[in-house]
Structure 1
Amino acid sequence: MLEIKPVESLEEISHLKQEYFAQSTSPLDGMWHFGFVPMSAHFGFYEQETLVGYCCVNCEGYILQFYLTTDVKTDAKELFTLITEQNSAVIGNVTGAFVSTAEPQYLSLCLDNSSAYKVNALMYKQEKLTTKSGAPELELQLAGLEQLNAFVEFAVTNIGAPKQWLLSYFGNLINRKELFGYWKEGKLLASGECRLFDEYQTDFADLGMIVAESERGQGIATQVLHRLVSLANQRGLTPICSTESGNVGAQKAIKRAGLEPLNRIIQIEFDRK
């Protein structure tokens, strides 16, 4: 008989996470899986006290990861349906899921139970090294802790992200030497991120970028991304990134920087019974 229990520490399921990432067909989005997932509630699946799988659900009731090992008695489809129909008193309210097309097993289970779905974001990956255009590369400066507030205010102004979260997020990037800025006449016009993975996807670098609203449409985004791609390649890493499905400007810039939109992140809604 299967038992579902809250996971007290993510270390308990680290080996299952390793298996989860190994079965994906392409690198998974860094912000989703290393930013949002750790903040979500995790639940372990146990057969006769043996941990055989897990899932995680965010505060809005969306499943972000689901995994069950193959050598188990429990049927994955039946378990997933039980959870989506809110028949687990331990997990509680579940309204939908976020899943990428690079997670075929999890995606199939989501589609089996979906009442509606839409593309949330496009996932990009560098498929081949880009050739030098001959144009000078944009100069990006590595961010220092003394610039933390400037980066936070820049992001608050230009994308509306919450300040408290940005203080922690950008502070961590600065400590890891993964945050860069494009400055002109003492003004921050663009920020760039080249995030490295500590585990699971260590052959990849996850790129991120923000351009000031006043500077958009001038090619700065493409130049920033070209520089970030170069930084990743210099370390022997393959760049990946993602952007919202409606952000056409960012999609064009990413394509010009040599990355291809190979996968999608899908938002799934479940029937409430």
Structure 2
Amino acid sequence: MLEIKTINTLEEINELKRQYFEQTTAPLDGMWHFGFVPTSSHFGFYEDDTLIGYCCINADGYMLQFYLSPTADIQARELFTLIAEQNSLVVDSIQGAFVSTAEPHYLSLCLDNSTSFKVNALMYQQVAPYASESASGLDLTLANQDQLAEFVEFAVSNIGASAQWLSEYFSYLIKREELWGYWKEDQLMATGECRLFDEHQTEYADLGMIVAESERGQGIATRVLIRLVSIANERGLVPICSTESGNLGAQKAILRAGLKPLNRIIQMEFDHQ
């Protein structure tokens, strides 16, 4: 008999998470899977008190991961449809899902239950060593804790994110030596992130950047990314990154830095009729 129960600690599903990442065809987006997923609600699937799968739902009612062990008696499509059609008494109301094209099993289940979908973001990866005679990387400086307030104020002004969230996030990156800055005349003009994975995707580095609005369109984004690609390669890592489907400026910069858009993150809407 199948039971769905709330997962209280993520350590309970460590082995299932490992299996989940093993079946992906490309590295998954770091912010989605190591930033948003841990703060979402997790639900375990049990057969005769044995944990055989899980899913997670964010606060907006969108599924972010779904995994069922091949040893399970129940069919994945049957279980997924039960949840998607809101017939579970345990899983909260669900509107749809976010899924990447690098997660073929999960993607197939989402497609079976979707009424509409759209591309949310493009996922990039380095596939060959970068070589260009037209652009060089900027001289980035590793951030320190004394500069935290400056980095937070910069990001709030240029992307409008929550100051509290940014303070916690940047502090974490600074402690791990994964945040850099580019200054011009003592003014912070760009930030760069080279985030390392502690598990599952340890051969990759996830890149991120913010450029001051006043400096955009001058090639700074490309040069920040080129330097971040070099930092990743110097550590023997393959750089990846992603950007929103409508951010054409960032897409051009990423391509110029030598990364290719091999996969997509898709937003699915489910039918509740």
TM-score (norm 2): 0.99
In structure 2, the partner of 1:241 is 241
Q: Which amino acid aligns with 2:6?
A: P
In structure 2, the partner of 1:149 is 149
- The separation in 2 between residues aligned to 1:124 and 1:227, in whole angstroms, is 16
In structure 2, the partner of 1:137 is 137
In structure 2, the partner of 1:109 is 109
SS in 2 for 1:198: coil
SS in 2 for 1:74: coil
Q: RMSD in angstroms over aligned alpha carbons?
A: 0.9
- The separation in 1 between residues aligned to 2:50 and 2:193, in whole angstroms, is 40
In structure 2, the partner of 1:20 is 20
* Identical-residue share of aligned pairs (%): 69
For structure 1, which segment, 217-226 or 136-145, has the greater mean C-alpha deviation from structure 2 after superposition?
Answer: 136-145
In structure 2, the partner of 1:74 is 74
Q: Which amino acid aligns with 2:40?
A: S
In structure 1, the partner of 2:7 is 7
Shift of 1:128: 0.5
Structure 1: runs of 5 or more not aligned:
none
Shift of 1:134: 7.2
- The separation in 2 between residues aligned to 1:87 and 1:155, in whole angstroms, is 42
Q: Which amino acid aligns with 1:187?
A: Q
1:80/1:213 CA distance change after superposition, 3 Å: same
Q: Which amino acid aligns with 2:189?
A: L
CA contact 2:119–2:267 (8 Å) conserved in 1: yes
CA contact 2:136–2:226 (8 Å) conserved in 1: no
CA contact 2:136–2:223 (8 Å) conserved in 1: no
Deviation by residue 1:52-111 (Cα, 9 ceiling, x = unmatched): 000000000000000001111011001000001111111120000000000000000000
In structure 2, the partner of 1:250 is 250
How many correspondences in the alignment? Answer: 273
TM-score (norm 1): 0.99
Structure 2: runs of 5 or more not aligned:
none
Alignment of 1:176-215 (within 5 A): 176-215=176-215
Report runs of 4+ in structure 1 exceeding 6 Å deviation.
none
